[in-house]
Structure 1
Amino acid sequence: MTEPSDGRRRPPSAGLPRTEPMSPLQMGQQAAGKRMLRRLVQGEHPPTAPLSIVDRLAGSPYANPMIQVGGVDTSARKTIDFALHLAESMFRYGAGALEVETSIIAITAALGLKHIEVDITNQSVAINYAPRDQTPITLLRVVRSWTNNYAGLAQVHQLVTDIVTGGVGREEAVRRLDDITHSPKPFPRWMVTAASGIFSAAFVGVLGGGIRASAVAFASSLLISMLARQLGKWRTPDFFVTAACSFVVTLVALLLWRYGTPVGFQIAPAIVVVGGILLLLPTGRLVSSVQDAINGFPVTAAGRFLSTMLTFGALVAGIAIAFVVGAMTGMETIDVTETFPPRYDLWLLVLMVAVAVVAIAIAEQTAWPLLLPTAAVGVVGHLVLIGATAVGVGPRFAPALAAVVIGLLARVVALRMGAPQLVVAVPAALILLPGLTIFRSMYVLTLEESEIILGFGGMLSAGAIVLGVAAGIVLGDVLARPLTRNLASNERKRARRR
């Protein structure tokens, strides 16, 4: 490079083409392009960054809890004890693993504990609290008993909501939880027994049975309720209690079908048995197991699913033994292909469905304010079932479709009433289960050896329907989450005002 004639050195940029300064619009476009390129290459978050445990509350009614700050770690052990007691109560009352986990995370975060981990299995809940530079605390609680208490589950749900909104401290929360666990159930034992019989009678009428068949179903239900209570006093395992009850209800139906009465009281046994065994089906556990499997709790789901399958095994074992006893007494062959056309008008069928749902809700100890909303959800589900069957959806897909509608409506209704979705969905969906298919398949498997393949096919079909109903309830709950965000926030606003 030559020096200029005047002896001065030119700047390095001299002689290069001059560039115009960028306008603010161009600078903004360039920055936006860089941000987009960075998102495409790196993603929104570093790929190996761990998720905050509070992020597990997204989509639940406890999202964005009000967190207490300062002075809580000194009493961390008391807070963890309370969280474990609450989780044990929820499990005993039939809650799913995801609901228990979100409740633990919500209340511990609201009470100021940030460094916790939760591990849930079928029968135990473990909480590990490990703050920095402090001795960690790990506590475990085992759940050894279960009971029907949907009213208690709804009260625990409301307690968690009140804690998350910051309106309830730990001491008051402990007192309220003790009141919930020690308070009596909303309905006395005699009323639960009567409700079981009313459910059986009403459901037999819905299936196409007459007044006599409903009367026999009512009496059989009362009989097996007393039998189950007596066997429970003797601490008989649930497997044998279920098998004995299904044996008794099937044998009574077979004997009445064979011998009848002098006035021609003969009835089809299949429709009577269905009214009795539906109450023995572990619908709540099955829905919870499918929900746990879908939501990422495989160990809990496997344990509950095994328990559910054992209950189904007990049901079919009791039915099979009753068939064998009936054959030994010279029972004639049953026409298992017999169909039962509706005996009543549609309005009366809807009324009987509502009565049946209310009765099963009472048997599950649902709170009084939830009885009629649960019946309304059940009626809508039954109408969807009738409509789907009429348009040719199919006997397997129609119950699943009705279950989706029930699951969606149950979440909306439950959040409005301050309860979890399961409390409304399970009683409303019980009418969708294939009791007739189970009875017919077991009869073929037990007494017609030439049609054993047909029997296995029927049991697989019944299992598919049951799983479809359970999965439909969970899918309905998922579909309703975007629609119920405002309902959850409104529930929390009402809690703050209290």
Structure 2
Amino acid sequence: MNAEDARKAGLPGKRQPGEPRPSSKQIPTVQQSRENFAAKRGLRRLVQGEMPPTAPMSIVDRLAGSPYANPMIQVGGVDNSVRKTIDFTLLLAETMFRFGAGALEVETSMIAVTAALGLRNIEVDITNQSVSINHAPKNATPITLLRVVRSWTNNYAGLTEVHQLVIDIVGGGVGREEAQQRLNEILRKPKPYARWMVTLGSGVFAAFVVAVIGGGLIGALVSMASTLLVGLLSRTLARWRVPDFFVTAMGAFLVTAIALAFVRFEIPIQPGAVVTGGILLLLPSGRLVSAVQDAINGFPVTAAGRFLSVFLTFGAIVSGIAVASALGGLLLVSSKSVTEAPQSVPPPLYLALLFVLLATILIGVVEQTSPRLLLPTAVIGVLGYSVLILVGHFGVGPRLAPAVAAAIVGVLARLLAIRMGAPQLVLAVPSILFLLTGLSIFRAMFTLTIATDSALDGVVGLFNALVVIMGVAAGVVLGDNLARPLSKLGKLGKLSVGLDSRRNRRR
């Protein structure tokens, strides 16, 4: 076989004189194999998942996107006293629930604390009135502890301090003993505002609400006086251990009866505006928003319990209004006058924004918000109300406009909350109160239960009011999620320790 036949057969042969030496660049065999391997690998990734579809999700993965992502495992490993760590975590979760935190905030805090303190094999379960932890290590006896939440109170300042405590634990700077001591101090610490300040703030807030919706000066003063009386009555009934249903019904009755009495004596007020200012604080707007948030975030049991509580409160308000309207009918007062729209001229825009600013600050006082968060919350409320007016001018419907404004509030609340080391709920809930129009809710419920000749209008009005509330709640959740990527662009205050990707991950 000569050299030419050997080359044709692919065998190495003797190079003839003058024949060029073969170069490695002319033999792309290795390159082709690499390209084929990369193509096959890309195709396999495209048609096949990274993990088996039935693989369980790590509980620490629930922290992704939350302020407690990537918790720092404290030096020293797992604590020898597992029971004490679980007891502390349950007490912390109960405290957050009592102070008004949502289910998602409580769950992420529990997971972050147990992860930071070195506990593995943890499962967390939350219902409407209880929190439980199951610790089941391999080849050991499992431990399951449950704690029931039996009372609730407005204490956003305490919730902020608990939130900051969780941040410090996740950052690795606080051990369990010091954390237990700080939590006990938070529980013993009095609220930032006295009761008389809360009562007075509620009355002035009602006056500002009536002024913003065009109820006039006299209507604002009447609403303030009736709200103060409702506060005193509620405090007295609470000392007598009267259930909340009847306390709310008595408050709605008192507000409506006072408004109808002024109409009976022909005092120039708009009863619909007066009743709206008086019952706005009785409406369970915050609980309804929290219920919708829990339902969206995947806590149906907690959401169902809160929805039931909300509907009972609505029923109490309607009951009080119905009894007062019947009494007004005996006094020859037309019950339909209660639902009449205010005829007074609304204040100028700059004055309305000032009223919204002051009213939001007062709502922060009522909710016992920390003093350093009052002004930021009020600014967010003014911006949300401005967006509501702005999108209304562009022809956005009355159902969609509050949802758009609530989304902006959710974004701003998340960013400022990260900057100031506070939960997003503390800044968002007081800021959306002017987006939840109590007048439309009251009119719909009144028409549905009292004015039976137009019950269909009441059903439509109630549906529209609930759509607005659901839209506002969904907008807050949407804004919160939209702001999470923005919060990771840079270091924002003390919470940046939880967002630093260089933290050791616990898996």
Q: TM-score, normalised by structure 2?
A: 0.90
Residue in structure 1 matched with residue 308 of structure 2 by the alignment: 306
Residue from 172, 195, 198 that aligns with 1:192: 198
Q: Secondary structure at the match of 1:426?
A: helix
Residue from 373, 382, 385 that aligns with 1:382: 385
Matched, 1:461 2:467: no
Alpha carbons 2:264, 2:332 under 8 Å: kept: no
Residue from 484, 488, 498 that aligns with 1:485: 488
1:133-162 deviation per Cα after TM superposition (whole angstroms, max 9, x unaligned) = 111111000000000000011111110000
Residue from 286, 289, 309 that aligns with 1:287: 289
Shift of 1:487: 6.0
**Alpha-carbon spacing, 1:366–1:355, altered in 2? closer, same or farther (3 Å):** same
Matched, 1:357 2:363: no
Shift of 1:302: 0.9
1:434-458 deviation per Cα after TM superposition (whole angstroms, max 9, x unaligned) = 2111232233234432211111211
Shift of 1:426: 0.7
1:2-49 deviation per Cα after TM superposition (whole angstroms, max 9, x unaligned) = xx9xxxxxxxxx957899864564344223212212212321222221
User: Which one-letter code corresponds to 1:421 in the other structure?
Assistant: Q
Counterpart CA distance in 2 for 1:338 and 1:413 is 37
Residue in structure 2 matched with residue 320 of structure 1 by the alignment: 322
Shift of 1:416: 1.1
Counterpart CA distance in 1 for 2:496 and 2:335 is 63
Alpha carbons 1:209, 1:271 under 8 Å: kept: yes
**Alpha-carbon spacing, 1:17–1:84, altered in 2? closer, same or farther (3 Å):** farther
Alpha carbons 1:258, 1:266 under 8 Å: kept: no
Matched, 1:416 2:419: yes
Counterpart CA distance in 2 for 1:446 and 1:297 is 32
**Alpha-carbon spacing, 1:168–1:175, altered in 2? closer, same or farther (3 Å):** same
Q: Secondary structure at the match of 1:117?
A: strand
The 5-angstrom pairing of residues 74-473 of structure 1 reads 74-260=80-266, 265-335=267-337, 336-340=339-343, 342-473=345-476
**Alpha-carbon spacing, 1:27–1:330, altered in 2? closer, same or farther (3 Å):** same
Alpha carbons 1:259, 1:266 under 8 Å: kept: no
**Alpha-carbon spacing, 1:84–1:487, altered in 2? closer, same or farther (3 Å):** farther
**Alpha-carbon spacing, 1:331–1:33, altered in 2? closer, same or farther (3 Å):** same
Counterpart CA distance in 2 for 1:318 and 1:434 is 19
Alpha carbons 1:415, 1:488 under 8 Å: kept: no
Counterpart CA distance in 2 for 1:337 and 1:392 is 25
Shift of 1:412: 1.0
Residue from 14, 19, 43 that aligns with 1:37: 43
Shift of 1:418: 0.7
Alpha carbons 1:116, 1:129 under 8 Å: kept: yes
- Which deviates more from structure 2 when the two are superposed, residues 123-132 or residues 24-33? 24-33
**Alpha-carbon spacing, 1:236–1:436, altered in 2? closer, same or farther (3 Å):** same
Shift of 1:491: 2.1
Alpha carbons 1:79, 1:170 under 8 Å: kept: yes
**Alpha-carbon spacing, 1:248–1:363, altered in 2? closer, same or farther (3 Å):** same
Alpha carbons 1:258, 1:332 under 8 Å: kept: no
**Alpha-carbon spacing, 1:197–1:340, altered in 2? closer, same or farther (3 Å):** same
Counterpart CA distance in 2 for 1:163 and 1:143 is 23
Counterpart CA distance in 1 for 2:194 and 2:446 is 37
Shift of 1:123: 0.5
Structure 1 segments unaligned to the other structure (5+ residues): 5-13
Q: Secondary structure at the match of 1:95?
A: coil
Shift of 1:338: 2.9
Q: Secondary structure at the match of 1:334?
A: helix
How many residue pairs get matched?
A: 482
Counterpart CA distance in 2 for 1:293 and 1:488 is 31
User: Which one-letter code corresponds to 2:394 in the other structure?
Assistant: V
- Which deviates more from structure 2 when the two are superposed, residues 138-147 or residues 297-306? 297-306
Shift of 1:334: 3.3
1:406-453 deviation per Cα after TM superposition (whole angstroms, max 9, x unaligned) = 111111111111101110111110111121112322332344322111
Residue from 50, 54, 64 that aligns with 2:70: 64
Alpha carbons 1:414, 1:421 under 8 Å: kept: yes
**Alpha-carbon spacing, 1:172–1:403, altered in 2? closer, same or farther (3 Å):** same
Matched, 1:48 2:54: yes
User: Which one-letter code corresponds to 2:332 in the other structure?
Assistant: G
- Which deviates more from structure 2 when the two are superposed, residues 471-480 or residues 106-115? 471-480
User: Which one-letter code corresponds to 1:76 in the other structure?
Assistant: V
Counterpart CA distance in 2 for 1:167 and 1:380 is 36
Residue in structure 1 matched with residue 16 of structure 2 by the alignment: none
Q: Secondary structure at the match of 2:173?
A: coil
Alpha carbons 2:428, 2:476 under 8 Å: kept: yes
- Which deviates more from structure 2 when the two are superposed, residues 450-459 or residues 156-165? 450-459
User: Which one-letter code corresponds to 1:400 in the other structure?
Assistant: A
Alpha carbons 1:396, 1:461 under 8 Å: kept: yes
